[in-house]
Amino acid sequence: MTTTMSLPQVRELRTEIPGPLSRELQQRRTAAVAAGVSSVLPVFVTEAAGGVLRDVDGNSLIDLGSGIAVTNVGNAAPEVVEPVRRQAGEFTHTCFMVTPYENYLQVCEELAQLTPGDHDKRSALFNSGAEAVENAVKIARRATGRQAVVVFDHAYHGRTNLTMALTAKSKPYKHGFGPFAPEVYRVPMSYPARDQRSGAESAREAVDRIEKQLGADTVAAVMIEPLQGEGGFIEPAPGFLPAISKWCTDNGVLFVADEIQTGFCRTGAWFACDHENVVPDLITTAKGIAGGLPLAAVTGRAELMDALPPGSLGGTYGGNPLACAAALGSIRAMREQDLAAAARGIQDAVMPRLRSVAEYTDRILDVRGRGAMIGVEFVKAGGDEPDPELTSRIAKTCHEKGVVVLTCGTYGNVIRLLPPLVIGHDLLDEGLRVLEEAIVEHTR
Ligand SMILES: *Cc1c(COP(=O)(O)O)cnc(C)c1O
């Protein structure tokens, strides 16, 4: 890597995980923080850089989660930190809707250039992924004059009211939180490891549902994660996305790609839609865009985005100048260090190793994903029944050994790897070795 990292890029355990100081903070936390906000691994972080997190007990952990696909350029990347520091000394906020500033424009210009398609584009900036998704729905409805929004099985689009309705999984995201927003319809997702069907066949089924149950002319938008995140790192069979996208175009329905998790080099291209040359009408981005500062965007065809009247989009903090400075630094790092290629390198390092582990056990149904977004799906012996208990035992062993891995999936039976794209190969190797050993320990 061209950048120097302030923390040694090594795993080093000084106490058990979590250590005594983290456990003390955990007690204070229970008394002050709502129980509904949980943590995967309750070590309290004091410092982070590149692919390492250091905690209050002095332990250094390998980060294979990037704070859920956010620190793609590495934690506290100098390319992000320096411009943010500078911006903070100049001004921290004016509200773009009151008096604008240039770095908001620069982020929108970058988005127009980087997102799929060479048509005329406009963007609007927000604070969180859920907020971007909500605004994409507003834009789609207003621009088409239609109301229905189609989403997929296993989809995850956020935790606000409208995005809960778009999200598939009930517990913990939706259960008890209704009533949900109306005019949201769910259709089957292509899931090659379980349905063994081609992308074209699965697309035909989804389209048939939409046409028979809704009628194409009521549908404002079809929204899809091109490679599903929280739902289990499910990558649709080749041809699925292009077929859905084509049907949308033929029927005046907007194809909305939710690239909040997959975007910004994560899958080995700037955006996951690029792998099949799919050009969405609207695209939502967040997570990896700004190296850890809260920023999100909707980018879309100029005529759709400009169909909404002044004042109908926005928010007090949307496109905050510190977040925009961070995004510009992060995009620059991705470009200069070719982090899309780095993500492909991570895929080349990780896939063969996990696939060879899978050969020794019938408890792994599938190893899948693209770039630095790779999932391992675990099942019970002798079949394909999901095994969330095994999955969490393996994750827990990794955590105790100082490797941060995350789980996901409608059935909670997928371990997902989302390392920072700048992770050194020694560190990645070591993290993988810990994961491999944990898999072997719990499946033999
Ligand atoms: C994380 C995520 C969201 C929600 O983003 P927040 O910033 O947590 O609101 C929406 N869609 C996808 C695909 C995501 O991964």
Distance 261 CA to ligand 1 centre (A): 7
Rounded-to-integer distance, Cα 381 and Cα 386, Å:
10
pLDDT at 345 over 60: yes
Q: What is the pLDDT of residues 130-141, one digit of tens each?
A: 999 999 999 999
Say if ligand 1 is within 6 A of residue 130 CB.
yes
CA-wise closest residue to 276 among 246, 254, 304: 246
Which residue bears the tokens 């050969």?
359
Say if ligand 1 is within 6 A of residue 158 CB.
yes
Topology of the domain covering 79-337: Aspartate Aminotransferase; domain 2 (3.40.640)
Identify which of 37, 156, 223, 234 to mutate to test ligand 1's pocket (most ligand atoms within 8 A of the CB): 156
pLDDT at 4 over 70: no
Query: Average pLDDT of 306-324?
Result: 98
Identify which of 149, 157, 233 to mutate to test ligand 1's pocket (most ligand atoms within 8 A of the CB): 157
Query: Average pLDDT of 96-117?
Result: 98
Strands 45-49 and 403-404: unpaired
Burial (CB < 10 A; 0-12, 13-18, 19+), residue 179, is: exposed
Rounded-to-integer distance, Cα 378 and Cα 413, Å:
5
Give the per-residue pLDDT at 377: 98
Contact between 416 and 401 (Cβ < 8 Å):
no
Which residue bears the tokens 């250039």?
113
pLDDT at 2 over 80: no
Query: Average pLDDT of 345-366?
Result: 97
Rounded-to-integer distance, Cα 41 and Cα 61, Å:
11
Under DSSP, the state recorded for 259 is -
CA atoms within 13 A on the CB side of 81: 13
Say if ligand 1 is within 6 A of residue 258 CB.
yes
Domain 20-63+338-443 superfamily per CATH:
Aspartate Aminotransferase, domain 1 (3.90.1150.10)
For the chain, what percent of residues have pLDDT higher than 90?
98
Say if ligand 1 is within 6 A of residue 157 CB.
yes
Report the nearest-CA residue for atom 10 of ligand 1: 157
Residue 211, number of CB atoms within 10 A of its CB: 14
Kind and range of the H or E run holding 96: none
List strands edge to edge, sheet with 219-224.
121-126, 296-301, 282-285, 254-258, 219-224, 148-152, 184-187
Identify which of 125, 135, 260 to mutate to test ligand 1's pocket (most ligand atoms within 8 A of the CB): 260
Rounded-to-integer distance, Cα 255 and Cα 183, Å:
16
CA-wise closest residue to 195 among 243, 154, 246: 154
Report the nearest-CA residue for atom 8 of ligand 1: 129
At 181, list the tokens.
């927003």
Say if ligand 1 is within 6 A of residue 168 CB.
no
Rounded-to-integer distance, Cα 271 and Cα 153, Å:
22
Distance 132 CA to ligand 1 centre (A): 9
CA-wise closest residue to 418 among 230, 223, 254, 143: 230
Mean pLDDT of the chain: 97
Identify which of 159, 261, 295 to mutate to test ligand 1's pocket (most ligand atoms within 8 A of the CB): 261
DSSP 27-93: HHHHHHS-TTS--SS-PPEEEEEBTEEEETTS-EEEESSHHHHT-TT-BT-HHHHHHHHHHHHH-S-
Distance 356 CA to ligand 1 centre (A): 32
Say if ligand 1 is within 6 A of residue 229 CB.
yes
pTM score, whole prediction? 0.98
Confidence of residue 355 (pLDDT cuts 50, 70, 90): very high
Q: Where are the domains of the chain?
A: 20-63+338-443, 79-337
Contact between 60 and 15 (Cβ < 8 Å):
no
Contact between 18 and 42 (Cβ < 8 Å):
yes
Residues 6 or more apart whose Cβ sits within 8 Å of residue 308: 138, 139, 142, 143
Confidence of residue 1 (pLDDT cuts 50, 70, 90): very low
Say if ligand 1 is within 6 A of residue 156 CB.
yes
Q: What is the pLDDT of residues 63-83, one digit of tens each?
A: 999 999 999 999 999 999 999
Q: 417 — phi, psi (to 5°)?
A: -110, 125
**Which atom in ligand 1 lies closest to the alpha carbon of residue 127?**
7
Measured CA distances, 286 to 94, 187, 439 (Å): 21, 25, 32
Confidence of residue 6 (pLDDT cuts 50, 70, 90): confident
Rounded-to-integer distance, Cα 435 and Cα 421, Å:
18
Give the per-residue pLDDT at 376: 98
Distance 58 CA to ligand 1 centre (A): 31
DSSP 214-246: T-GGGEEEEEE-SS-STTT---PPTTHHHHHHH
Distance 233 CA to ligand 1 centre (A): 14
Measured CA distances, 264 to 67, 115, 284 (Å): 15, 9, 11
Same fold, 20-63+338-443 and 79-337: no
Confidence of residue 5 (pLDDT cuts 50, 70, 90): low
Q: What is the pLDDT of residues 186-222, one digit of tens each?
A: 999 999 999 999 999 999 999 999 999 999 999 999 9
Say if ligand 1 is within 6 A of residue 128 CB.
yes
Rounded-to-integer distance, Cα 155 and Cα 151, Å:
7
| Collapsed DSSP state (helix, strand, coil) of residue 369 | strand
First-to-last alpha carbon distance for the chain, in angstroms, is 38
Distance 168 CA to ligand 1 centre (A): 13
Q: What is the pLDDT of residues 15-47, one digit of tens each?
A: 999 999 999 999 999 999 999 999 999 999 999
**Which atom in ligand 1 lies closest to the alpha carbon of residue 294?**
7
Distance 15 CA to ligand 1 centre (A): 33
Tally DSSP H helices, then E strands, for the chain. 14, 15
